[in-house]
Structure 1
Amino acid sequence: MQKTIAGLALAAVCGLLSVQVRAEPALEVLGRDFVFPHRVEGVPARLSDFKDLQVNHFVTNDGVKLAYWEAGQGKPLILVPGWSANGAQYINVMYLLARHYRVYVLDPRNQGLSQHVDYGTRIARYSMDLKEFGDHLGVKSADYVGHSMGAAVLWSYIDLFGTGAMHKAVFVDEPISIYSHSDWSEKERSEAGGSTSSPERMVAALTSGGPVNKLITDMKPFERAQSFDSPYFANSEGFASAVIKSDPQAMGRVLFNHTVSDWRDVVRHKIDIPVAIFSGDESNNLPSQRWAQSVVPNATLYSYTSAEQGDHFLMFKNPVKFTGDLQAFLAR
């Protein structure tokens, strides 16, 4: 589950229909430059080094103003953040991918630079937002990458709209069902990735400072989120923390619905496009990712070692390897 660092309310809704507007340079939207704490070869040393990074927005059919980040040229590649995440965290990933694709990161409602609302806070609505985003861009077919809850949004999208507008799909370290049902065997729990039997206590722990332990939720993401042994991760988290204001209450509105959603039937029966799955040795989700690979026809599993930063945040901690593997998969 993504680290809580997101949420900044934008201006009031300016209409009920999606409207194409001119994208603005991220530097102007954020109102400041940013110097990354670690200088790393191959990625920006400061925000202004990423000259074509832009921020745009559109308005959903239920009147919510959603922000998105974009850069690069080429085939469209749409990245869907996890719970509490935002486009700022993707700064290194976008920079590396923008050499080869037109890259988009959509800030979900109540996250990042998107508007905060108290309605539509269900995974199904988030997948509708994603569908409308593709329509807004005029994209007939794109590759999609969902990290954490973003993978669940893709599963919901496939469930509701099919795969006609998807060329390939990538799922990064998301349990198939976070909620572990009381009648499951240990094998079923492991294959689904179940990590809580109390969604209410899990939501309270993640949004309002409730007590947390291994019986409430998987503690590994908490532990790994605090490990800044990757300079890439330290840079992107530092940037996101500086430019995005956190609002746990707004972000938490979707969390219960996300926690109790079981996507095993979608993963088992409805995915008919090439799929890549990413996880690693430092993630307790790895068994469920192996199960997903076993039931999705011709799915490819990329499992990173501890030395390769194979945890829930692998794409941010090791963006060079991740984007290289992603490009190789998309190029097949």
Structure 2
Amino acid sequence: MPNFTSGDGVRLHYEDEGDGRPVVLPAGFCAPLESWELQRRELAAAGYRVIGFDRRSHGRSESPAYGQRMSRHGADLHDLLVELDLRDAVLVGGSQGASAVWAYYDLFGPARIGAVVSIDQTPRMVNGDGWEHGFYGLTKENVGTFFADGVPDTGRGLRQPRTAGFARIVELLGGAPAFADPGTPERRALLQSHAEADWRDVIARMEVPNLLIAGRDSQLWPCEHAAAVAATNPLSSVVTLEDCGHAANLDQPEATNAAILEFLAARP
């Protein structure tokens, strides 16, 4: 079971398969690397080297009481790229995993990466001050308490998420992926850090091609977040998936894979 030790002494788990250009997959809040199974297989079959990554406090990585902030998750991604000596890597982040990718870029820039893909993650969770593409109902007035009881049901978006993708993963793996408990102190601290972040300036400054995939019927925020931030950078592009909620890689795995592969094929 491949592991490495982060710069601050935490054991982190990853899976490495295939050959070719490296694609690194950090998953969303509480999701293990196995949640990417339908993307991992498709990307490996297309000739890419695929690295699934369990962020700290996720999957089979350690969950220390410290380092539960988005900046440290970005540093962990850097430690992974250095450990494997990856160059021209593609970072594909889903949900909070996209925030980890933006944190990485903010800290370390484009030196080891060639492209970025985010999947249904608004760059600013808090609404207000001219930005209305954040988490439904989250404002600067309530940001300190909004997630005190976990991620709330917004009553918005796709009310009956498509489950075929998850069922296929269960069949392929012989069991359901082990999602982490969102209620631990460590993950609550991480969720709060995630809620308070604003990555719009990072995306605007990106010097590598970056694709923002949005679910038309996301339960968490308006899909227009992708077009709004993409307008700030000529290297940004947008794909909005129809009949798709927040978990695009599970709701619409084929469409998600097609969008990623088309984006990469155009940027060898």
TM-score (normalizing by structure 1): 0.72
Aligned to 1:27: none
Higher gyration radius (CA): 1
Partner Cα distance (1:84, 1:167) in 2 = 27
Runs of 4+ more than 4 Å apart? 191-195, 237-241
Match of 2:199 in 1: 263
- C-alpha change, 1:87 and 1:139, in structure 2 (3 Å) is same
- Residue type at the aligned position of 2:42: L
1:303 to 240, 245, 249: 240
Distance across 2 between alignment mates of 1:163 and 1:280: 27
Out of 182, 186, 189, the position equivalent to 2:131 is 189
- Which of 156, 172, 187 lines up with 1:251 in the alignment? 187
Who is 2:260 aligned against? Answer: 326
In the other structure, the counterpart of 1:179 is 126
1:244–1:192 CA distance, 2 compared to 1 (3 A): closer
**Residue identity opposite 2:43 in structure 1:** L
CA distance 1:127–1:235, shift in 2 (3 Å)? same
**DSSP-derived class of the 1:88 partner:** helix
Unaligned runs of 5+ in 2: none
Q: Tell me how far 1:57 sits from its aligned partner.
A: 1.0
For 1:134, the aligned partner's letter is L
Asked whether the 8 Å contact 1:92–1:319 carries over to 2, the reply is yes
1:48 equivalent in structure 2: none
User: What is the CA–CA distance in structure 1 between the aligned matches of 2:163 and 2:15, rounded to whole Å?
Assistant: 23
Give the equivalent residue in structure 1 for 2:166: 233
Aligned-partner residue type, residue 164 of structure 2: P
- The aligned length equals 258
After superposition, give the CA deviation of every residue in 1:197-255 in whole Å (9 maximum; x if it has no partner).
22343322217xxxx46xxxx4447x65x63x342223336869745263320322211
Of residues 290, 293, 317, the one that matches 2:251 is: 317
Q: SS of the counterpart of 2:127?
A: coil
Question: 1:138-149 alignment to 2 at 5 Å?
Answer: 138-149=85-96
Q: Percent identity?
A: 26
Indicate the residue corresponding to 1:68 in structure 2: 14
Aligned-partner Cα distance in 1 for 2:134–2:207: 20
Deviation at 1:298, TM superposition (A): 3.4
2:147 paired with 1:203: yes
Alignment of structure 1 residues 76-155 onto 2, 5 Å = 76-99=22-45, 100-155=47-102
Distance 2:74 2:195 in 1: 16
On the 8 A contact 1:66/1:113 being kept in 2, the answer is yes
Matched position secondary structure for 1:291: helix
Q: What letter corresponds to residue 82 of structure 2 in structure 1?
A: D
Cα RMSD of the aligned pairs, angstroms, is 2.3
Task: Report if the CA contact (8 A) 2:69-2:193 is conserved.
Answer: yes
TM-score (norm 2): 0.87
